[in-house]
Amino acid sequence: MTSRATRVLVLNSGSSSLKYQLLDMRDNARLAAGLVERIGEETSRLVHTPRPDGGDADGGDADGGDADGGDADGSGKRERTGPIADHTEALEAVSAELARDGLGLDSPELAAIGHRVVHGGLKFTAPTVVDDAVLAEIERLVPVAPLHNPANLTGIRTAQRLRPDLPQVAVFDTAFHTTMPEHAARYAIDVATADAHRIRRYGFHGTSHAYVSRKTAELLGREPADVNVIVLHLGNGASASAVAGGRCVDTSMGLTPLEGLVMGTRSGDIDPAVTFHLKRVAGMSVDEIDELLNKKSGLVGLCGDNDMREIRRRVDAGDERARLAFDIYVHRLKKYIGAYTAVLGRVDAVVFTAGVGENAAPVREAAVAGLETLGLAVDAGLNAVRSDKPRIISPRDARVAVAVVPTDEELEIAQQTFALVDEGRTVIA
């Protein structure tokens, strides 16, 4: 009997972490998911969840949070701690866990490995099967993504070593945004300087914006090509995009993920002269300023917390600092909704996604409050419903739909990967 290889392993490699999901593309079922963290330390930890669709509705470990050992929640979760020296060992450990469930990396049913790659520059406009030239180009982009691309490369090379025969596919965070017109992508700085250093707006979270904008069209019962959507991806990192007929025409992140919305720890938009000021007047080094704006700003800089649940709790308890942080966050969101309404001309839906967007009803309510002239409103009852399904939360007669659409970057990476490699190859079952 013959059958197709229908499984895709999705890898998301960070500098000291490796997240993974194994999916079966016949029905998009998640067969396993997990995370290795603190790679290279004595206290590395692997958390492996077989059949995660059964439990874990919030997608896991968004806040670096901790699943405690054993299987207390009945999810079948397994945990192992102890030193894991590097990504090769990490992937070997993952493979061993998968093998315990009969899903090892050596399985002939594995069709490909899909890798999240953060920066694809202008060259990579679509998912790409990795070869030496592709690796070299991802390497060439390290100066514009110094934190992410090296880790992504390590993940790819490790997977190549373990399964040299298997297609490795790179799916780029920037790809969806490569359709942005020049007038949205260019900064108004000297063109020669910008071009010499590849300074332009690339945008990130593209896999999420692509998935969510397409799902929104589905929710509205229309073709993506007929729908204009503003996507608000509000996680710890946050970005907005304007999507016209399925193509991104503007997005809030820029050369790096620092630009745009107020985020958990990043400032988002800021007068660039603040950086000169911090150097000249406050005597800070470039690295210190980088750390300030990326790690100690945003919600955490404003009020000491970056978790919207905690901020809302404090707001409800009358905490003024938390209130101001919330108001600044929402004010920036409103500005982007207004700006992207102007960019798109006609808006069919404003859609909220990611940890904050999917869960924080007060953020959604506040972000569209007072925007009735743009056709925007939320129905308080619908907004309060908790669900992990795509849903419309605007009143029935609203001119513009306001929606909540849970994102699924791993599924999108798996689908893009599979679409690229599946040519009806057969394996002996």
Residues that bind ligand ADP (CB under 6 A): 62-63, 235-237, 264, 306-309, 354-356, 359-360
Q: Is 290 a catalytic residue?
A: no
Beta carbons of 306 and 300 less than 8 angstroms apart: yes
Q: Is 206 annotated as a binding residue?
A: no
Of 134 and 231, which has the nearer Cβ to ligand ADP? 231
Q: Are 382 and 393 in contact (CB under 8 A)?
A: yes
Annotated binding residue at 233? yes
- Catalytic pick from 27, 61, 71, 173? 173
Contacts 24+ apart (CB under 8 A), 253-259: 253/201, 253/202, 253/203, 253/204, 253/205, 254/187, 254/200, 254/201, 254/202, 254/203, 255/144, 255/187, 255/199, 255/200, 255/201, 255/202, 256/144, 256/145, 257/204, 257/205, 258/293, 258/294, 259/201
Judge contact between 25 and 6, C-beta under 8 A. yes
Pick 343 or 382: Cβ nearer ligand ADP: 382
Pick the closest to residue 177 from 206, 134, 148 (CA basis): 206
How many other C-beta atoms can be found within 10 angstroms of the C-beta atom of residue 239?
28
Q: How far is the CB of 424 from ligand ADP (least distance, A)?
A: 35
Sheet of strand 247-251, all strands in order from the earlier edge strand to the far edge? 247-251, 238-244, 228-234, 349-353, 401-404, 391-392
Residues 40, 46: Cα–Cα separation, whole Å: 13
CB 64 → ligand ADP: shortest distance, Å?
A: 8
| Residue among 200 and 266 whose Cβ is closer to ligand ADP | 266
> Residue 249 or residue 363: which is nearer to ligand ADP going by CB?
363
| Min CB(360)–ligand ADP separation in Å | 4
Q: What is d(CA 76, CA 56) in angstroms, rounded to the nearest whole number?
A: 11
Q: Is 115 annotated as a binding residue?
A: no
CB of 237 to ligand ADP, least distance (A): 5
By C-beta, is 169 or 360 nearer to ligand ADP? 360
Q: Measured at the alpha carbon of residue 179, what is the angle toward residues 178 and 183, in degrees to the nearest 5?
A: 95
Picking from 99, 82, 115, the residue whose alpha carbon sits closest to that of residue 9 is: 115
Region of 400 (left: φ > 0; alpha: ψ -120 to 50; beta: rest) is: beta
Q: Is 237 annotated as a binding residue?
A: yes
Q: Is 268 annotated among the ligand-binding residues?
A: no
Establish whether 355 is an annotated binding residue: yes
> CB–CB of 176/206 below 8 Å?
yes
Question: Is 235 labelled as part of a ligand binding site?
Answer: yes
What is the closest distance, in whole angstroms, from the C-beta atom of residue 387 to ligand ADP in the complex? 12
11 is an annotated ligand-binding site residue: no
Q: Closest approach of Cβ 429 to ligand ADP, in Å? A: 36
Does 228 show up as a binding residue in the annotation? no
Q: Which is nearer to ligand ADP, 237 or 254 (CB)?
A: 237
In whole angstroms, the minimum distance from the beta carbon of 236 to ligand ADP comes to 4
Instruction: Decide whether 372 or 388 has the Cβ nearer to ligand ADP.
Output: 388
Residue nearest to ligand ADP (CB): 355
Task: Extract the annotated binding site for ATP.
Answer: 19, 233-237, 307-309, 355-359
Task: Extract the annotated binding site.
Answer: 12, 19, 116, 233-237, 307-309, 355-359, 409
Could you list the active site residues?
173
Task: Extract the annotated binding site for Mg(2+).
Answer: 12, 409
Task: Extract the annotated binding site for substrate.
Answer: 116
